Every structure is written in C-alpha cells, then in structure tokens.
Structure 1
Amino acid sequence: MKTLARIRLLGADDNDADAVAPVLALPNDADPLAYAAEIAGAARVELHFPSFTDGRAYSQAYLVRRRLGFKADLRATGEVLVDQLLQMERMGFSSAVLCTDVALADAQRQLERFPAFYQGDLIREAPYREA
C-alpha cells in the first residue's frame, strides 16, 4: 500500500512553538469563502472545534481544501479528541492540536487502527485501489 502522509499531532506546547506566518484563525461560524484572499496568502489556516459535538469545522475544512484549493497546513484546534482524528484527516486537516488530557500515544494508535479506506475522501480518489 502506498504510504500516506498522516495528520501531524501536536500538544499545546508544540503548537505554541510551531511559529509560521501568516496564520489565519477562522471562527467556527465563519464562511471560508468570504476569506478567500486571506486564506490564499496564509501559511496556515486554523479551524476551531469549540466542543466535541460541534462539527462545523469539518465543513469549513472541505471548503478550504476543495473549493479554495488551499495546499498549506490546515490545523484543527480546540476540543480535539482521539475519536475525531481519522475524520479530520479525511476532511483535509494536515495537523491537529490535541486536548491537554489526550495522550499522544493514544492518538497515534487511533490513526494506525485504519490504514486505508475504500471510499474516497479529500486525500484519495474513490474507489481506493492499492498501488
């Protein structure tokens, strides 16, 4: 199977030390299409998950990657839990800042649990075929 670049997992300290500019942090109720020019010039776009049950940032990620063609770092922030990581990766997030009570080893195990999917997503076309 072709090796896939996985979502990069960060703790809060790692995020603080990961300085790039410019960074655009969008509120989770913002329309990314209204920020197209700012997104095009950003080195990183951060989308916020205010709670586990609020998934609007998934829709924002889709728009940022597919409609706006953003290729740089798309980062998930806020209440990022282990259960969300695979879906975040499939929706185009390239990095995620884990909640303080989430162990990095647990998050990594979750990513290794499902190495591939048959359905297409923002990373792979459908249907999935081993190369």
Structure 2
Amino acid sequence: MASIIKNRAIVNDDWTLVRPAEDGALPALSELPAGKVLLPLALWQAERDALSASRSAAELGVWLAPDSEPAEIVGDFDKLAVIAVDFPVFRDGRGYSIGRLLRERYGYKGELRAIGDVLRDQLTFMFRCGFDAYALRADKDFEDALKAFDEFSVQYQGAVDNPSPLFRRRAASQAAAQTAASKVPA
C-alpha cells in the first residue's frame, strides 16, 4: 500500500487516484475501483448524483487540476471526504492559490491533499496554504520530507496557518510588553 504524509505523519494511503485516460476520456462508473476514490472534477460533475447514491461521502474525494475553479465544488463539501489539488509539475504554483481559496474564501475544513509532482521543498509552503496531506512523488524519501516542516522558524507573510504578517505580530508583541511594563509597580 502506498503512503502519504498526513498531519505531519507518514500514514497508509487507502485512496485510489483515478485519472482520465491518455486521450482524456473519463472512466465509466462501472470501471471505478471499490473503496475510496479520488475522482477528477469533470467525472464528479458529470456523475455527482449517481456517485452520491452509490457511495458514502467517506469514500468520495475530488481532485482539482491547476486550472480548475474551486468555487465549483463549494456546495459539495458535505459529500466529499477529501479534496486534492494536482501539481502536475514542480514549477506550477496555481495549486497553492487553490488551496488558499478553499481554506480562506470557501471555508473548507476537510482533508486538503497535494498530489502530482509533490516534492520535499514544497511541503512547508503547501502547509502554509492550507494543505494537510501530501502524496509525495514515488521516488522521494518520506522520512527526509518530514524534516521540511521544521526548517523555517519565522515566516514574514501571513497565510492560512498564521494570517498575521510578521510586522503585525512584532507590533502586537511590543504593545503587550509595553502594557505589561506599565503595570509593574515602581
């Protein structure tokens, strides 16, 4: 069984990623494997009712391509256990924006998984954009990848994990210190 990093731990991946055929054709529902499946957005949109009737929400997930519009699945959050975002190549950063939109604008609270060409160097940045699960590329070392989460101790910009930028955090800390100092009796 394949593994993923989820909530900063290596766990077994019991989801099957379903991709379109080489020619772009989507599989028929009868061709889908049993168990938990991560489906392309187009298949989910075409067969939403049939899939919801034949499987529980705990068995259904959708993956978004870099050019997908996350707003298209906002109404389906309760029918999906996982939303994955495909990073087809390392240099394609559109998935980071999709992750932030899902978390910040649309309020998605479930598992947000990065799939595709996912490398160690991306994990911290994906985490900051709201991802909590990562399907590393098959040739990568999971133990080494876990170390990426602890490499940066300070982030300057605000993100999903800490919306306040560094200058605001410092100002708040200084104000708190000044308030505490003014309360000290002379």
In which range does the TM-score fall when normalised by the shorter chain?
0.7 to 0.9
Take 2:8 and 2:114, find their aligned partners in 1: how far apart are those partners? 10
Query: Unpaired runs of 5+ in structure 1?
Result: 1-5
Worse overlay, 116-125 or 41-50: 116-125
TM-score, normalised to structure 1's length?
0.80
Structure number with the bigger relative contact order (C-alpha 8 A, sep ≥ 6) is 1
Deviations 1:20-68 (Å, cap 9, x if unpaired)? 4221112221101122112343211010000001111111111111111
- Within a 5 Å distance, the mapping from 1:10-21 to structure 2 comes to 14-15=12-13, 17-18=14-15, 19=36, 20-21=58-59
Take 1:125 and 1:60, find their aligned partners in 2: how far apart are those partners? 17
1:59 to 97, 119, 135: 97
SS of residue in 2 equivalent to 1:30: coil
1:108–1:91 Cα change, 3 Å: same
SS of residue in 2 equivalent to 1:69: coil
1:75 to 113, 138, 153: 113
Take 1:79 and 1:114, find their aligned partners in 2: how far apart are those partners? 22
| Corresponding residue pairs, total | 122
Q: Which runs of 4+ in 1 moved over 3 A?
A: 6-11, 127-130
SS of residue in 2 equivalent to 1:38: helix
1:7–1:93: 8 Å Cα contact kept in structure 2?
A: no
The residue number in structure 1 matching 2:141 is 103
How many percent identity over aligned positions? 33
**Structure (1/2) with the larger helix percentage:** 2
Deviations 1:94-129 (Å, cap 9, x if unpaired)? 110111111012111111212443432101131447
Take 2:87 and 2:61, find their aligned partners in 1: how far apart are those partners? 17
